[in-house]
Amino acid sequence: MSDSPVALVTGSSRGIGRAIAVALAETGHNLVVNYVRNAAAAAEVVHEIESLGRRAIAVPASVAITADRQRLLHTTIEQFQRLDVLVNNAGITSPGRKDLLDATEQSWDEVFSTNLKGPFFLAQQAAREMLAGLKSHTIQRGTIVNISSISAYAVSTDRADYCMAKAAQQMMTWLLATRLAEDHIRVYEVCPGVIASDMTAPVQEKYDRLIEAGLTPIRRWGTPEDVAQAVVMLASGALPFSTGERINVDGGFHIRRL
Protein backbone atom coordinates (compact mmCIF):
# COMPACT_ATOMS: atom_id res chain seq x y z
CA MET A 1 0.00 0.00 0.00
CA SER A 2 1.11 3.54 -0.69
CA ASP A 3 2.22 5.27 2.57
CA SER A 4 1.75 8.65 0.93
CA PRO A 5 -1.55 10.14 -0.20
CA VAL A 6 -2.54 9.27 -3.75
CA ALA A 7 -3.95 11.69 -6.30
CA LEU A 8 -5.64 10.87 -9.60
CA VAL A 9 -5.53 13.77 -12.05
CA THR A 10 -7.49 13.27 -15.25
CA GLY A 11 -5.94 14.70 -18.41
CA SER A 12 -2.54 15.15 -16.80
CA SER A 13 -0.33 14.41 -19.82
CA ARG A 14 -0.39 18.08 -20.83
CA GLY A 15 -1.37 21.62 -19.85
CA ILE A 16 -3.11 22.39 -16.59
CA GLY A 17 -3.45 18.74 -15.55
CA ARG A 18 0.25 18.13 -15.96
CA ALA A 19 1.12 21.12 -13.76
CA ILE A 20 -1.38 19.91 -11.13
CA ALA A 21 0.11 16.40 -11.14
CA VAL A 22 3.67 17.68 -10.74
CA ALA A 23 2.68 20.17 -8.02
CA LEU A 24 0.85 17.44 -6.06
CA ALA A 25 3.92 15.23 -6.37
CA GLU A 26 6.06 18.08 -5.05
CA THR A 27 3.79 18.21 -2.01
CA GLY A 28 4.07 14.52 -1.17
CA HIS A 29 1.48 12.72 -3.30
CA ASN A 30 1.93 9.64 -5.43
CA LEU A 31 0.20 10.10 -8.75
CA VAL A 32 -2.05 8.49 -11.30
CA VAL A 33 -1.38 10.33 -14.57
CA ASN A 34 -4.35 9.87 -16.89
CA TYR A 35 -4.40 10.66 -20.60
CA VAL A 36 -6.37 9.62 -23.64
CA ARG A 37 -3.99 9.61 -26.65
CA ASN A 38 -0.65 11.09 -25.84
CA ALA A 39 1.33 8.23 -24.25
CA ALA A 40 4.72 9.89 -24.79
CA ALA A 41 3.65 13.05 -22.96
CA ALA A 42 2.19 11.00 -20.09
CA ALA A 43 5.43 9.00 -19.81
CA GLU A 44 7.36 12.28 -19.55
CA VAL A 45 5.14 13.40 -16.67
CA VAL A 46 5.63 10.06 -14.89
CA HIS A 47 9.39 10.46 -15.33
CA GLU A 48 9.29 14.01 -13.92
CA ILE A 49 7.31 12.83 -10.88
CA GLU A 50 9.65 9.89 -10.27
CA SER A 51 12.61 12.26 -10.40
CA LEU A 52 10.94 14.06 -7.47
CA GLY A 53 11.13 10.81 -5.51
CA ARG A 54 7.44 9.94 -5.79
CA ARG A 55 5.62 7.03 -7.42
CA ALA A 56 3.53 7.56 -10.56
CA ILE A 57 1.74 5.45 -13.13
CA ALA A 58 0.28 6.49 -16.48
CA VAL A 59 -3.18 5.15 -17.31
CA PRO A 60 -4.77 5.68 -20.73
CA ALA A 61 -8.54 6.09 -20.35
CA SER A 62 -11.17 8.36 -21.78
CA VAL A 63 -13.24 9.92 -19.03
CA ALA A 64 -16.10 9.99 -21.54
CA ILE A 65 -16.28 6.17 -21.65
CA THR A 66 -17.86 4.18 -18.81
CA ALA A 67 -15.59 1.12 -19.06
CA ASP A 68 -12.49 3.35 -19.22
CA ARG A 69 -13.49 5.22 -16.07
CA GLN A 70 -14.04 1.95 -14.22
CA ARG A 71 -10.65 0.63 -15.36
CA LEU A 72 -8.98 3.90 -14.33
CA LEU A 73 -10.34 3.65 -10.78
CA HIS A 74 -9.70 -0.07 -10.59
CA THR A 75 -6.05 0.38 -11.67
CA THR A 76 -5.59 3.17 -9.14
CA ILE A 77 -6.75 1.00 -6.24
CA GLU A 78 -4.95 -2.07 -7.53
CA GLN A 79 -1.63 -0.20 -7.75
CA PHE A 80 -1.86 2.02 -4.66
CA GLN A 81 -4.68 0.56 -2.47
CA ARG A 82 -5.93 4.08 -1.73
CA LEU A 83 -7.28 7.26 -3.29
CA ASP A 84 -7.09 10.57 -1.42
CA VAL A 85 -7.53 13.16 -4.15
CA LEU A 86 -9.44 13.22 -7.43
CA VAL A 87 -8.89 16.16 -9.77
CA ASN A 88 -11.45 16.21 -12.57
CA ASN A 89 -9.33 18.18 -15.01
CA ALA A 90 -9.68 16.48 -18.43
CA GLY A 91 -11.75 18.58 -20.76
CA ILE A 92 -12.18 19.51 -24.38
CA THR A 93 -13.24 22.72 -26.03
CA SER A 94 -16.21 22.82 -28.37
CA PRO A 95 -15.10 21.05 -31.59
CA GLY A 96 -14.91 23.61 -34.39
CA ARG A 97 -16.09 26.42 -32.09
CA LYS A 98 -19.26 26.83 -34.19
CA ASP A 99 -21.75 29.66 -33.76
CA LEU A 100 -24.62 28.38 -31.65
CA LEU A 101 -27.01 28.59 -34.60
CA ASP A 102 -24.80 26.02 -36.36
CA ALA A 103 -23.89 23.96 -33.29
CA THR A 104 -24.35 20.22 -33.67
CA GLU A 105 -25.66 17.48 -31.41
CA GLN A 106 -22.46 15.57 -32.09
CA SER A 107 -20.39 18.37 -30.58
CA TRP A 108 -22.85 18.59 -27.65
CA ASP A 109 -22.50 14.86 -26.95
CA GLU A 110 -18.69 14.95 -27.12
CA VAL A 111 -18.40 17.97 -24.87
CA PHE A 112 -20.99 16.86 -22.32
CA SER A 113 -19.60 13.30 -22.12
CA THR A 114 -16.07 14.54 -21.50
CA ASN A 115 -16.68 17.70 -19.48
CA LEU A 116 -19.72 16.75 -17.37
CA LYS A 117 -20.90 13.14 -17.48
CA GLY A 118 -17.35 11.74 -17.15
CA PRO A 119 -16.38 13.96 -14.20
CA PHE A 120 -19.67 13.28 -12.39
CA PHE A 121 -19.51 9.51 -12.64
CA LEU A 122 -15.78 9.45 -11.92
CA ALA A 123 -16.44 11.52 -8.78
CA GLN A 124 -19.22 9.11 -7.81
CA GLN A 125 -16.87 6.13 -8.13
CA ALA A 126 -13.98 7.96 -6.46
CA ALA A 127 -16.21 8.98 -3.55
CA ARG A 128 -17.15 5.34 -2.99
CA GLU A 129 -13.45 4.39 -2.88
CA MET A 130 -12.71 7.30 -0.53
CA LEU A 131 -15.56 6.28 1.77
CA ALA A 132 -14.13 2.75 1.94
CA GLY A 133 -10.65 4.20 2.64
CA LEU A 134 -12.01 6.44 5.39
CA LYS A 135 -13.89 3.57 6.98
CA SER A 136 -10.78 1.38 7.06
CA HIS A 137 -8.63 4.36 8.22
CA THR A 138 -6.47 3.98 5.09
CA ILE A 139 -7.01 7.67 4.30
CA GLN A 140 -7.67 10.61 6.64
CA ARG A 141 -9.77 12.74 4.32
CA GLY A 142 -10.92 12.85 0.71
CA THR A 143 -10.73 15.77 -1.69
CA ILE A 144 -12.42 16.17 -5.05
CA VAL A 145 -11.54 19.18 -7.20
CA ASN A 146 -13.43 19.98 -10.39
CA ILE A 147 -11.63 22.20 -12.89
CA SER A 148 -14.37 24.28 -14.48
CA SER A 149 -13.86 27.61 -16.26
CA ILE A 150 -14.82 31.27 -16.42
CA SER A 151 -16.99 29.94 -19.27
CA ALA A 152 -19.31 28.68 -16.52
CA TYR A 153 -20.69 32.24 -16.40
CA ALA A 154 -19.05 34.20 -19.27
CA VAL A 155 -20.85 33.71 -22.57
CA SER A 156 -19.03 32.61 -25.75
CA THR A 157 -21.66 32.09 -28.45
CA ASP A 158 -19.21 29.96 -30.44
CA ARG A 159 -18.85 27.44 -27.60
CA ALA A 160 -22.39 27.03 -26.24
CA ASP A 161 -22.00 23.37 -25.26
CA TYR A 162 -18.70 24.08 -23.46
CA CYS A 163 -20.23 26.98 -21.51
CA MET A 164 -23.30 24.97 -20.49
CA ALA A 165 -21.28 21.94 -19.39
CA LYS A 166 -18.96 24.16 -17.33
CA ALA A 167 -21.94 25.98 -15.78
CA ALA A 168 -23.38 22.62 -14.72
CA GLN A 169 -20.10 21.74 -13.00
CA GLN A 170 -20.91 24.29 -10.30
CA MET A 171 -24.13 22.46 -9.39
CA MET A 172 -22.25 19.16 -9.62
CA THR A 173 -19.73 20.53 -7.10
CA TRP A 174 -22.49 21.71 -4.74
CA LEU A 175 -24.32 18.39 -4.96
CA LEU A 176 -21.23 16.30 -4.25
CA ALA A 177 -20.08 18.71 -1.54
CA THR A 178 -23.42 18.44 0.26
CA ARG A 179 -23.75 14.68 -0.03
CA LEU A 180 -20.20 14.05 1.18
CA ALA A 181 -19.89 16.82 3.77
CA GLU A 182 -20.40 14.59 6.80
CA ASP A 183 -18.05 11.96 5.41
CA HIS A 184 -14.79 14.00 5.54
CA ILE A 185 -14.74 14.44 1.77
CA ARG A 186 -14.45 18.05 0.64
CA VAL A 187 -15.44 19.04 -2.89
CA TYR A 188 -14.28 22.21 -4.63
CA GLU A 189 -14.44 23.92 -8.00
CA VAL A 190 -11.43 25.70 -9.43
CA CYS A 191 -12.37 28.21 -12.07
CA PRO A 192 -9.44 29.10 -14.34
CA GLY A 193 -9.44 32.16 -16.57
CA VAL A 194 -7.33 32.48 -19.70
CA ILE A 195 -4.49 29.99 -19.23
CA ALA A 196 -1.66 29.31 -21.70
CA SER A 197 -2.01 25.70 -22.91
CA ASP A 198 -2.58 23.70 -26.09
CA MET A 199 -6.30 24.40 -25.68
CA THR A 200 -5.86 28.17 -25.97
CA ALA A 201 -2.94 28.11 -28.47
CA PRO A 202 -5.26 28.48 -31.49
CA VAL A 203 -6.79 31.66 -30.03
CA GLN A 204 -3.61 33.15 -28.63
CA GLU A 205 -3.69 36.37 -30.65
CA LYS A 206 -7.29 37.09 -29.70
CA TYR A 207 -6.49 36.76 -25.99
CA ASP A 208 -3.20 38.69 -26.34
CA ARG A 209 -5.26 41.62 -27.63
CA LEU A 210 -7.99 41.29 -24.98
CA ILE A 211 -5.51 41.04 -22.09
CA GLU A 212 -3.55 44.02 -23.41
CA ALA A 213 -6.84 45.95 -23.53
CA GLY A 214 -7.57 45.16 -19.86
CA LEU A 215 -9.71 41.99 -19.94
CA THR A 216 -8.28 41.06 -16.53
CA PRO A 217 -7.19 43.36 -13.69
CA ILE A 218 -3.96 41.31 -13.54
CA ARG A 219 -2.81 41.90 -17.11
CA ARG A 220 -1.16 38.65 -18.09
CA TRP A 221 -1.95 35.14 -19.25
CA GLY A 222 -2.47 32.64 -16.47
CA THR A 223 -0.15 29.64 -16.33
CA PRO A 224 -0.96 26.00 -15.58
CA GLU A 225 1.16 26.44 -12.44
CA ASP A 226 -1.19 29.21 -11.24
CA VAL A 227 -4.06 26.71 -11.34
CA ALA A 228 -1.93 23.97 -9.78
CA GLN A 229 -1.18 26.13 -6.73
CA ALA A 230 -4.89 26.45 -5.99
CA VAL A 231 -5.39 22.69 -6.25
CA VAL A 232 -2.41 22.01 -3.95
CA MET A 233 -3.89 24.36 -1.36
CA LEU A 234 -7.27 22.61 -1.51
CA ALA A 235 -5.76 19.11 -1.42
CA SER A 236 -3.65 20.06 1.61
CA GLY A 237 -6.76 20.25 3.77
CA ALA A 238 -6.11 23.95 4.42
CA LEU A 239 -9.83 24.75 4.27
CA PRO A 240 -11.47 22.14 6.53
CA PHE A 241 -14.67 24.12 7.17
CA SER A 242 -15.20 24.99 3.49
CA THR A 243 -16.79 22.84 0.86
CA GLY A 244 -18.56 23.49 -2.43
CA GLU A 245 -16.33 26.56 -2.77
CA ARG A 246 -15.39 28.07 -6.12
CA ILE A 247 -11.78 29.31 -6.27
CA ASN A 248 -11.23 31.75 -9.14
CA VAL A 249 -7.78 31.58 -10.75
CA ASP A 250 -8.42 34.21 -13.37
CA GLY A 251 -6.40 37.37 -12.73
CA GLY A 252 -9.56 38.99 -11.33
CA PHE A 253 -11.65 38.40 -14.47
CA HIS A 254 -14.77 37.62 -12.41
CA ILE A 255 -14.87 41.06 -10.79
CA ARG A 256 -17.50 43.24 -12.48
CA ARG A 257 -16.06 46.65 -13.20
CA LEU A 258 -17.33 50.08 -14.22
Q: Which residues are catalytic?
A: 162
Binding mask 7-46 for ligand NAP (x = CB under 6 A): ---xxxxxxxx----------------xxxxx--x-----
Q: Of 5-13, 47-55, 97-105, 231-239, which segment contacts ligand NAP by CB under 6 A?
A: 5-13
Q: Which is nearer to ligand NAP, 4 or 200 (CB)?
A: 200
Q: State the binding string over 56-95 for ligand NAP (x if CB under 6 A, else -).
A: ------xxx------------------------xxxx---
Torsion of CA 68, 13, 211, 152, to 10 degrees: 20
CB nearer ligand NAP, residue 72 or residue 130: 72
Q: Which of residues 141-160 bind ligand NAP (CB under 6 A)?
A: 147, 149
Q: Tell me if 114 contacts ligand NAP by CB under 6 A.
A: yes
Distances (CA, A) of 193 to 63, 106, 213: 23, 26, 16
Count the alpha carbons within 13 Å of 164 in the hemisphere toward its beta carbon.
16
- Using rule CB under 6 A, residue 199 touches ligand NAP: yes
Q: Which of residues 232-251 bind ligand NAP (CB under 6 A)?
A: none
| 109 contacts ligand NAP (rule: CB under 6 A) | no
- Quick one: 82 or 117, whose CB is closer to ligand NAP? 117
Helix-helix angle 66-80:118-135, to 10 degrees: 30
User: Burial letters for 64-94: b for 16+ Cβ neighbours within 10 Å, e otherwise?
Assistant: beeebbeebbebbeebbebbbbbbbbbbbbb
Cβ at position 3, least distance to ligand NAP in Å: 28
Give residues in contact with ligand NAP (CB under 6 A): 10-17, 34-38, 41, 62-64, 89-92, 114, 147, 149, 192, 194-195, 197-200
